[in-house]
């Protein structure tokens, strides 16, 4: 780095650190975005310069679902081996959030003292980051439909990723989910080193393809894909009957691996982080050790104990994510260890303002298992209607489940806890902003 760059970088860092201190002192929030914005104005090439200084390299994690949990697992694996790791806080996955995360570990002379930087990147921002930054690793988890009001269409996003990754050095390692046809196809068309992960466990196949699927057409020729089986949404074992496009061989045998938390989606998160960790040279037994001790990130299958009762918060922000949380909740409900579920639907900017997506969720499955369902949040009426329309019978004829509508979130949480028996678990399924509110109500502090 040139001296003049170093001085400007140091200046930017100094100002940013002052801002961080002030924001925190004045209790304005956790200062996860603003310092980045200010320092970027002071030094426009700040992000690429910081990328260059990460000793072992920067890992970008992209995908619709699972970024936070996978990042946290990977970070824990690395830290358990004694590495210094930096990681952007959940939700701060636009450019300014990335800069802010790296600034935390940068000193006033512009030195960044970390071995690895794990950065969650918003799927729409990836091309922008790659324009002038070179990560050593990119992990692509999945591409589902999310927040259509912001982004539009899955196909377009994959094409933009491909264009953005193409010019990167050939020794960049790209780790992709082979079970997602869109990402598998992307991997086949890259000149970089590509490693695939995926499941090879037909015992985990779904009985039928859920409705909320995005791309079951061949990304190469547009023919309907043949699936031997589906693990979740459009992730599965598939091939194209027309052009021969098929799932690539994976660099990891999922049958050998356990998993963190609950649900098939967390199996994906586990093997994705596991494959990367192996690529860094960490031994399998050490990775397994971290996996078995792992605790959840905020609101992602996080477990809390409130008044001697277990509470599990399962972030549910899009059709695929919610179908999977319903599947996990049903598996537990069937063992009679839970019977109460609280659904909180908000329609603020971080949630997506369009709540039509709940009609793409197979809530019929949740209602069929029965129990008590409490609804709350900004759009509690929409959720109540969705549940009502999940039943073949209406009103008194339906004795299988009980729908409780409670607008006030505090009251809804109190009711839900009250209805939960001592040995049972209360499941809470919130959208993003609702998850923050639920946590605040339960543990008394905000996280952002």
Partner 1 sequence: MELSIGWLYPKLMSTYGDRGNVICVQRRCQWRNIGVSIIPLDREADSAQFSKVDIIVGGGAQDRQQEIVMRDLQGAKAAAFRNKIESGTPGVFTCGSPQLLGRYYEPALGQRIEGLGLLDLVSKHPGIEANRCIGNVVFEITATPLAKELQALWDEDPIIIGFENHGGRTYLDSVQPLGKVIVGYGNNGEDKTEGAFYHNAIATYSHGPLLSKNPFITDWLIKTALQIKYQKEINLSKLDDSVAIAGRKAMLQRLELSQLIVTK
Q: Which stretch binds partner 1 (CB under 8 A): 78-86, 197-205, 381-389, 426-434?
A: 381-389
Q: Which is nearer to partner 1, 59 or 387 (CB)?
A: 387
- Is 222 a binding residue for partner 1 by CB under 8 A? The answer is yes
To partner 1, the closest distance from the beta carbon of 411 in angstroms equals 16
Going by DSSP bridges, is the β-strand pair 137-140/173-177 parallel, antiparallel, or unpaired?
A: parallel
To partner 1, the closest distance from the beta carbon of 136 in angstroms equals 32
- Is 354 a binding residue for partner 1 by CB under 8 A? The answer is yes
In whole angstroms, what is the distance from residue 73 CA to residue 297 CA? Answer: 9
Residue from 14, 359, 442, 447 touching partner 1 (CB under 8 A): that is 359
- Is 58 a binding residue for partner 1 by CB under 8 A? The answer is no
Residue whose C-alpha is closest to residue 431's, from 350, 368, 328: 350
CA-based torsion, 173, 125, 99, 351: positive or negative:
negative
For the CA atoms of 174, 179, 182, 185, what is the dihedral angle to 10 degrees? 60
To partner 1, the closest distance from the beta carbon of 359 in angstroms equals 3
HSE of 376 in the Cβ direction (CA atoms, 13 Å)? Answer: 22
In whole angstroms, what is the distance from residue 319 CA to residue 163 CA? Answer: 28
In whole angstroms, what is the distance from residue 287 CA to residue 273 CA? Answer: 9
Distance of CA 35 to the CA centre of its chain: 24
In whole angstroms, what is the distance from residue 205 CA to residue 213 CA? Answer: 15
- Is 393 a binding residue for partner 1 by CB under 8 A? The answer is yes
What are the structure tokens assigned to 321, written together?
């994510």
Site for partner 1 in 145-204 (CB under 8 A): 145, 148-149, 152-155
End-to-end CA distance of the chain: 34
- Is 384 a binding residue for partner 1 by CB under 8 A? The answer is yes
Q: Which is nearer to partner 1, 114 or 384 (CB)?
A: 384
Contact 110, 9 (CB under 8 A): yes
- Is 394 a binding residue for partner 1 by CB under 8 A? The answer is yes
Number of neighbours of residue 118 by Cβ within 10 angstroms: 27
- Is 392 a binding residue for partner 1 by CB under 8 A? The answer is yes
Helix (H) or strand (E) holding 406: none
CA distances from 186 to 169, 252, 256 (A): 16, 19, 26
Residue from 67, 136, 386, 439 touching partner 1 (CB under 8 A): that is 386
To partner 1, the closest distance from the beta carbon of 318 in angstroms equals 11
- Is 353 a binding residue for partner 1 by CB under 8 A? The answer is yes
Q: Which is nearer to partner 1, 81 or 388 (CB)?
A: 388
To partner 1, the closest distance from the beta carbon of 363 in angstroms equals 10
Residue from 360, 368, 441, 448 touching partner 1 (CB under 8 A): that is 360
Q: Which is nearer to partner 1, 90 or 147 (CB)?
A: 147
Q: Which residues bind partner 1 (CB under 8 A)?
A: 145, 148-149, 152-155, 211, 213, 216-217, 222, 224, 353-360, 381-382, 384-386, 388-389, 391-395, 405
């Amino acid at each position: 780095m040139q001296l003049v760059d170093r001085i400007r970088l140091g200046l930017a860092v100094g100002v940013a650190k002052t801002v961080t201190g002030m924001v925190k002192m004045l209790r304005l929030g956790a200062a996860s975005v603003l310092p980045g914005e200010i320092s970027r104005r002071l030094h426009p090439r700040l992000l690429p310069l910081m990328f260059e200084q990460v000793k072992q390299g920067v890992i970008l994690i992209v995908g619709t679902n699972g970024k936070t949990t996978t990042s946290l697992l990977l970070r824990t694996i690395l830290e358990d081996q004694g590495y210094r790791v930096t990681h952007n806080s959940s939700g701060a996955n636009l450019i300014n959030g990335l800069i802010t995360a790296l600034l935390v570990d940068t000193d006033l002379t512009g030195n960044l003292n970390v071995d690895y930087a794990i950065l969650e990147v918003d799927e729409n921002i990836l091309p922008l980051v790659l324009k002038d930054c070179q990560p050593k690793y990119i992990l692509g988890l999945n591409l589902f439909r999310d927040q259509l009001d912001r982004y539009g269409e899955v196909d377009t996003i994959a094409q933009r990723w491909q264009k953005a990754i193409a010019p990167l050095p050939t020794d960049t390692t790209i780790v992709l989910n082979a079970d997602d046809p869109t990402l598998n196809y992307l991997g086949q068309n890259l000149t970089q080193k590509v490693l695939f992960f995926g499941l090879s466990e037909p015992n985990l196949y779904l009985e039928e393809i859920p409705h909320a699927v995005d791309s079951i057409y061949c990304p190469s020729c547009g023919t309907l894909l043949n699936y031997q089986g589906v693990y979740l949404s459009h992730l599965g074992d598939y091939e194209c009957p027309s052009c021969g496009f098929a799932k690539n061989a994976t660099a990891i045998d999922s049958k050998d691996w356990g998993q963190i938390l609950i649900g098939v989606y967390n199996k994906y998160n586990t093997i994705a982080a596991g494959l990367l960790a192996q690529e860094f040279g960490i031994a399998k037994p050490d990775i397994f050790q971290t996996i078995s001790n792992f605790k959840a990130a905020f609101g992602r299958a996080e477990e809390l104990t409130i008044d001697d009762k277990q509470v599990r918060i399962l972030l549910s922000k899009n059709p695929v994510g919610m179908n999977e949380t319903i599947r996990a909740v049903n598996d537990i409900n069937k063992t009679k260890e839970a019977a109460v579920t609280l659904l909180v639907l908000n329609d603020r900017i971080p949630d997506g303002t369009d709540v039509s997506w709940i009609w793409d969720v197979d809530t019929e499955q949740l209602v069929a298992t029965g129990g008590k369902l409490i609804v709350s949040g900004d759009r509690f009426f929409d959720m109540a209607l969705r549940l009502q329309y999940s039943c073949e019978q209406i009103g008194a004829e339906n004795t299988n489940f009980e729908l409780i509508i409670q607008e006030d979130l505090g009251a809804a949480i109190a009711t839900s806890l009250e209805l939960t028996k001592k040995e049972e678990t209360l499941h809470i399924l919130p959208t993003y902003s609702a998850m923050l509110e639920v946590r605040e109500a339960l543990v008394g502090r905000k996280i952002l």
